[in-house]
């Protein structure tokens, strides 16, 4: 099996690469990543020398490059994670999200279509998000049949890419899979997203910006559990189907931030309440989705996946990782290592 993983240097992608490289020594895993601000090859130091792993720096928005890569490599499957991924950035610059998330995805679909010649054994697996469903009222859960109703430029671009993936299945019988996961957290998460940003700011003694009243609800899943779900869906999922991924783990932002502050105080040997003093309510995000909550019973009953960690265990592991990897935080916030890796891989 030769598998292309796009976005493998990013947060979730690096955990997927590590899992597959270690679990399937007989596969060839090619990681294709542009190395934007969010991509970091340091995330993959422990697998970079394995014989079944290779890396190509490249941009999914360049159709010519993508077509050549597919013609040369004869992939058996694609796991597509490359994306612009941050809602706040999408509010500032929606065009970048359209180009990477929609056009980049269509380039990959086209290349797969051209080189796979209708072979039903191939698999094009698109990693999407529960945010395409929009916001849901208290008590409700997103199922795979919930209407797509994206509310931010980020989720609109992901919904657009989902529609193209489904359209390629419907129109050309391309063997596709889609999964939609809730908010992930864990090691290697770029400190622009809520949990790593708070950890970073507590370490730097900076304010902890909570948007609005902090009452928005997110459903959190440990990133390694997402990677295991991706492995299960890639191998056992039925093509043409959508699978929701989530761990029934809803938290109001403000409650989550308090829990995180308490774990940080305990791990740093500080008095309880020290980090919480940094909490600062700031202007709300425009159009801020109030609540996400996902029903993943289809994945659990049909493919036998379930989350392995409780939130408290996962958060404890996450904080411990950040405290042991302060250098990683310095590197991604300074961009210094990114430049080093970009220069190393200017050769494609
Ligand atoms: P991330 O921002 O950490 O990583 C994205 C990766 O894609 C980076 O390595 C970046 O360099 C690469 N990339 C960006 N543009 C590219 C391009 N034009 N060509 C090639 N590579 C490019 O994102 P993440 O949080 O790891 O998310 C990965 C995927 O999972 C995304 O598709 C996202 O929509 C989806 N998702 C994320 C979450 C979450 O909570 N983070 C939840 C559900 C789904
Ligand atoms: P985020 O990590 O950006 O993920 P998403 O918007 O994709 O769910 O944000 C998670 C929640 O935390 C969301 O409700 C916005 C909120 N938030 C803050 O309150 N402060 C922050 O500094 C950030 C980045 C997010």
Average pLDDT over every residue of 279-289? 97
Rounded to whole angstroms, how far apart are CA atoms 215 and 183? 16
Q: What is the pTM of this model?
A: 0.98
**Does a structural domain hold residue 208?**
no
Q: Nearest-5° angle of CA 169, CA 171, CA 173?
A: 45
* Residue 183 alpha carbon, nearest atom of ligand 1: 40
130: confidence class by pLDDT, cuts 50, 70, 90: very high
For residue 134, what are its two tokens? Answer: 């929009």
Which of the residues 33, 59, 84, 130 is marked catalytic? 130
Radius of gyration of the chain (CA): 20
Domain count, the chain: 1
pLDDT in tens, 175-194: 999 999 999 999 999 999 99
CATH of the domain at 71: 3.40.50.720
347: confidence class by pLDDT, cuts 50, 70, 90: low
For residue 40, what are its two tokens? Answer: 């970091």
* Residue 154 alpha carbon, nearest atom of ligand 1: 34
* Residue 14 alpha carbon, nearest atom of ligand 1: 26
Rounded to whole angstroms, how far apart are CA atoms 162 and 165? 5
Domain that holds residue 182: 2-186+221-248+289-310
Which of the residues 33, 84, 131, 224 is marked catalytic? 131
**Does a structural domain hold residue 139?**
yes
pLDDT for residue 340: 80
| pLDDT tops 90 at residue 344 | no
List the beta bridge partners of residue 188.
none
Whether 154 is catalytic: yes
| pLDDT tops 90 at residue 161 | yes
Rounded to whole angstroms, how far apart are CA atoms 152 and 332? 26
**Does a structural domain hold residue 101?**
yes
Whether 131 is catalytic: yes
Rounded to whole angstroms, how far apart are CA atoms 60 and 104? 5
| pLDDT tops 70 at residue 129 | yes
Q: Which of 55, 64, 83 to mutate to test the pocket of ligand 1 (most atoms within 8 A of CB)?
A: 83
**Does a structural domain hold residue 344?**
no
**Does a structural domain hold residue 51?**
yes
**Does a structural domain hold residue 26?**
yes
Ligand 1: centre distance to CA 7 (Å): 6
Ligand that lies nearest to the alpha carbon of residue 59, given by its number in the listed order: 1
What are residue 40's phi and psi, to 5 degrees? -150, 115
**Does a structural domain hold residue 269?**
no
**Does a structural domain hold residue 64?**
yes
Return the half-sphere exposure (C-beta side, CA atoms, 13 A cut-off) of residue 233: 34
């Amino acid at each position: 099996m030769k598998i292309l993983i796009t976005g493998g240097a990013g947060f979730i992608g690096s955990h997927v690469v590590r899992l597959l490289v270690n679990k399937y020594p007989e596969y060839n895993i090619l990681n294709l990543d542009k190395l934007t601000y969010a991509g970091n090859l340091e995330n993959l130091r422990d697998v970079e020398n394995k014989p079944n792993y290779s890396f190509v720096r490249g941009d999914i928005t360049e159709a010519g490059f993508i077509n050549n890569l597919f013609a040369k490599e004869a992939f058996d499957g694609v796991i597509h994670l490359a994306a612009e991924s941050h809602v706040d950035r999408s509010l500032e610059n929606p065009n970048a999200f359209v180009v990477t998330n929609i056009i980049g995805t269509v380039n990959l679909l086209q290349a797969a279509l051209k080189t796979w010649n209708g072979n039903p054994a191939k698999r094009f697996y698109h990693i999407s998000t529960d945010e395409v469903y929009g916001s849901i009222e208290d008590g409700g859960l997103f199922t795979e049949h919930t209407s797509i109703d994206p509310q931010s430029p980020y989720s609109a671009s992901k919904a657009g890419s989902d529609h193209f993936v489904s359209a390629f299945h419907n129109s050309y019988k391309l063997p596709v899979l889609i999964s939609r996961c809730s908010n992930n957290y864990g090691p290697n998460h770029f400190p622009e997203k809520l949990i790593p940003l708070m950890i970073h700011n507590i370490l730097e003694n900076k304010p902890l910006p909570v948007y609005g009243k902090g009452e928005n609800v997110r459903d959190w899943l440990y990133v390694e559990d997402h990677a295991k779900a991706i492995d299960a869906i890639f191998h056992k999922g039925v093509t043409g189907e959508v699978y929701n991924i989530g761990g029934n783990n809803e938290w109001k932002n403000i409650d989550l931030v308090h829990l995180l502050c308490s774990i940080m105080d305990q791990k740093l040997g500080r008095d309880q309440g020290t980090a919480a003093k940094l909490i600062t309510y700031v202007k709300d995000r425009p159009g801020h989705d109030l609540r996400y909550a996902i029903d993943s019973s289809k994945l659990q009953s049909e493919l036998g996946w379930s989350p392995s960690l409780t939130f408290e265990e996962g958060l404890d592991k996450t904080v411990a990782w950040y405290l042991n990897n302060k250098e990683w935080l310095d590197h991604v916030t300074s961009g210094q290592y990114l430049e080093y890796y970009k220069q190393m891989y200017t050769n494609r």
